[in-house]
Amino acid sequence: MSDDLINIKVNQKEIQVDKNLTVMQACEIAGEEIPRFCYHDKLSIAGNCRMCLVEIEKAPKLVSSCTMPLMEGMSIITNSEKVNAGRKGVMEFLLINHPLDCPICDQGGECDLQDQAMYYGFDKSRYKENKRAVDNKNMGPLVNTIMTRCIHCTRCVRFATEVAGVPELGMLGRGENAEITTYLEQSITSELSGNVIDLCPVGALTSKPYQFKARPWELKRTDSIDIFDSVGSNIRVDSRAEEILRVTPRTNEYINEEWISDKVRFNYDGYYQQRIDTPYIKENQKLSISNWEQSLKVLKDKLKTLKPLALIGEHVDLETGYAIKKFMSNYGKDNVECRTDNHAILESLDSYRFNTPLNDIENSDLIILVGTNPKVETPIINHKIFKAYNNDAKVFNIGENLSLNYKTEYLGESLSSLNNENLIKALKKSTNPLIIIGSAFLNKIKNIKTLKSIFSYADKYKVITKEKNNLNFLNPYASRVGQLIIGNTTNNLCEPFSNLKKDNFELVLSFGSEHIANEQFTNCFKVYFGHHGDDGAMGSDIVLPTPLYTEKNGTFVNIEGRPQEAKKCHNPIGSAKEEWSILKKLSDELSFDFNPNTFDQLRSELFDKHPILSDYHEIIAVENSTSITPDIEFEDCKAEYPVSNFYMSDVISKNSVTMAKCVEEIISTPSLLEKSA
Amino acid sequence: MSSNHPGLSNNFSRSGEKFSWSKDNLRSIKNIISKYPKGREQSAVMPLLYLAQEQNNNWISIECIETIAETLNMPKIRVTEVASFYSMYNTRPVGENLIQICRTSPCWLRGSNKITKTICKETKCEINDTSDDNKFTVVEVECLGACSNGPMIQINNDFFEDLDEESTKIIIDNIKEGKPNVIGSQKGRRSSENA
């Protein structure tokens, strides 16, 4: 028997479990469900709800199982009369002050308290006293509070402190006067604040935009992927008829754990604002409503004579990308570009993806942020860095001096700060260093030698070893890694967009890329495939409506190189058509080769060509590339961060009313503190 | 005026004036913090709250909380939690003399009710209220630990024991007139020796 295992009994059933577990965890392994409110896997143990009482043989009283460590030979009983009576007593206490407003409560139907009261609650109250009433607190534009319902489990307080890293929530007072609030009722400033809604076991913290919208059993649930940053958080899209009513996280321990960013959780109202619902054609400098037949005819004629260039935007799925590549191959090479932000890469996959598996970030003891602001670009990765920071990792920052929710040591604004003495000293001491190179520098690199030097640097200081590769490249766009894998880019490693030979192209096809409006394409005929009316659409000659990611199936490869599927939730708005079917139709009329007749055929052709993409949920394996230069030399480039405003980083969130409120109340409004100063 | 105990309210307010530590307090703070292990400086939050209250006319303003949070390098909400938890940190301004009347059983059996009535009458304020001239704030509290000398009250930092209506009135009058008071037993007892 291993030292770490001990023998215990749960309801007379003998099991062997790790000795470091708690009684509650052991009971779960034994298959016994323990009711709880305050305990949560991802948070510290509070032990204040008392709902998880169990009987332990030889213990005089019931014990709370979440706080109780295991001991050799312990015999736990979870189903006795005594346990039941104890839990019923706790439930009765919890309900003393809980209002009976389930019929008007947003949590109704998915409420822990409601569910557990079905088992342990009495059918009537023995209390004649008045229930206490608590003033509602302001927590910002996202979290709605009805504090009378609060049972003081403090999950939200622990989440804010331990996960979000913004110690702004707390419990004031004590006993009957206890109240949960933010400091001086200011808005929560975290990008992960929406998760307190899921954590709250009752209806005290609910979603403001979803308030009084639907009951959980009315909703159709669709599994999807967060495409508003590159992390690829797993989400569940809840819709009724043709409308998305809310977005919640799906647990994926490898990526987002149980959290998602506020952007994907709340920007869904932007899905239906400013939508392009019908084709448009420019006549007399003005876009006017057209139809598919007419617009495709014009486009077909142009495609017969003009040489096209395709630009790929930040929300384009792999299948669409593949169809674009297939179509554009009829016009030669180097005419598709997804790196419209001048993202510098080497050929290999490990030069543009996050090479450390996301759930390994927390094991690092030294993290260097180089030209990236993970807090606004990828809040989930920021949370993982925060975890590492709490495990005593040191964090260095190069670029702008950022204000993050953990302490960083600022080294300077240029790449050459990598040679800083303090940093080198720390690197030599570190056992598991990790570097994150962000778009702020990657988009500015003019000489590929700089990128190679970064590899040599990582090699020199054991960031890359045989076993691991901790040199990471972070860009905030969901489409980027996947599009690069299927080769939707031109052959310039640095400044691919600036280096496009503009004279070679007379027609620009933009798939959701606003860069079509750039000056360099003034003389080209411009066609915009997209779902939202943005600058790209305004400046185009033909605008074709395409579905949003929730309106079609699609594959996205996340930043660590993990293909995942976003599923169709409802039909496209207006007369939008999927990009591949438009290209198929054009190909047929131009008598190009385009075999797939259905989306599934297109997908299987993609997987045949790129078998590494077909393994959903697994990280694509690659060998570490050996692009090492003998001398390390960094060019001087000024960091320019791709995302400055978390709540409005893309066309969809720019159209979201909720996101606009966030900007107004969280970013623009100075906190009460600053006001007084 | 709000009608709850000034130490039990969860609502904090600003004084409108900047709060910075006095020189003496800065010295004491250094001493207090040195009592805790390195990295555990936040444990000093309670003594610091006490110092702040002493310096800030016997109440904790938001400015005090912010100064303490800065001194101890801890989140403001954590300081607020502690300040709101304990009833002896006043969360709103109180009068120059905070009169705490013990009403727990021993004092009550010896007539604390009458003392309360007298004090309310003499100071012209209700329980939990502050008098118009800002001289007195009267609150009822539970046991202050001087049971054998009941009924008793605490005025700011001093105990007044073995009270009756008459001696209570004298104490209040003396305060009003700025005269010194005899601290402790009003019957001349030393400590809690047999009467």
pLDDT in tens, B96-127: 999 999 999 999 999 999 999 999 999 999 99
Pick from A593, A594, A613: nearest CA to A604: A613
The alpha carbon of residue A113 and the mean position of all alpha carbons in its chain are separated, in whole angstroms, by: 29
Percent of chain A with pLDDT over 90: 83
Nearest to A179 among B10, B14, B77 (CB): B10
Give the pLDDT band (50/70/90) at residue A101: very high
Tally of CB atoms within 10 A around A167:
17
Task: Give residue B4's pLDDT.
Answer: 82
pLDDT in tens, A156-183: 999 999 999 999 999 999 988 999 999 9
Q: Which residue of A has its CA nearest to B12?
A: A184
A184 in reach of chain B (CB within 8 A): yes
Hey, what are A574's tokens?
A: 């207006």
Pick from A217, A34, A11: nearest CA to A120: A34
The per-residue DSSP string of B16-60 comes to SS-----HHHHHHHHHHHTTS-TT-GGGGHHHHHHHHHHHTTTS-
pLDDT in tens, B131-143: 999 999 999 999 9
Give the pLDDT band (50/70/90) at residue A268: very high
Going by the DSSP 8-state scheme, the letter that residue A163 receives in this structure is I
Q: Per-residue pLDDT averaged across A350-370, rounded?
A: 94
Closest CA–CA distance from residue B163 to any residue of chain A (Å):
32
Q: Per-residue pLDDT averaged across A442-455, rounded?
A: 91
On chain B, the residues whose CB falls within 8 A of the CB of A177 are: 8, 10
Residues 6+ apart with CB under 8 A from A4: A18, A19, A20
Nearest to A167 among B8, B12, B75 (CB): B75
Q: Which residue of B has its CA nearest to A176?
A: B8
Cβ separation B84–A673 shorter than 8 A: no
Closest CA–CA distance from residue A362 to any residue of chain B (Å):
22
Q: Interior CA angle at B148 toward B147 and B150, to 5°? A: 65
**Do the Cβ atoms of A104 and A117 come closer than 8 Å?**
no
Task: Give residue B2's pLDDT.
Answer: 46
Give the pLDDT band (50/70/90) at residue A676: very low
pLDDT in tens, B149-170: 989 999 999 999 999 999 999 9
On chain B, the residues whose CB falls within 8 A of the CB of A185 are: none
Exposed e or buried b for every residue in A462-492, given b needs 16+ CB within 10 A?
ebbeeebbbbbbbbbbbbbbbbbbbbbbbeb
Give the pLDDT band (50/70/90) at residue A677: very low
Cβ separation A172–B81 shorter than 8 A: yes
Q: Per-residue pLDDT averaged across B10-23, rounded?
A: 93
Separation CA A200–CA A114 (nearest Å): 13
Give the pLDDT band (50/70/90) at residue A553: very high
Separation CA B5–CA B82 (nearest Å): 16
3-class DSSP assignment, residue A366: strand
Cβ separation B10–A169 shorter than 8 A: no
Burial environment of residue A114 by CB neighbours within 10 A (0 to 12, 13 to 18, 19 or more): middle
Cβ separation A170–B80 shorter than 8 A: yes
pLDDT in tens, A394-405: 999 999 999 999
The pTM is what? 0.92
Q: Which residue of B has its CA nearest to A181?
A: B77
- pLDDT value at A517 more than 90: no
Q: Per-residue pLDDT averaged across A608-632, rounded?
A: 83
- Average pLDDT of chain A is 92
Task: Give residue B1's pLDDT.
Answer: 41
Give the pLDDT band (50/70/90) at residue A115: very high
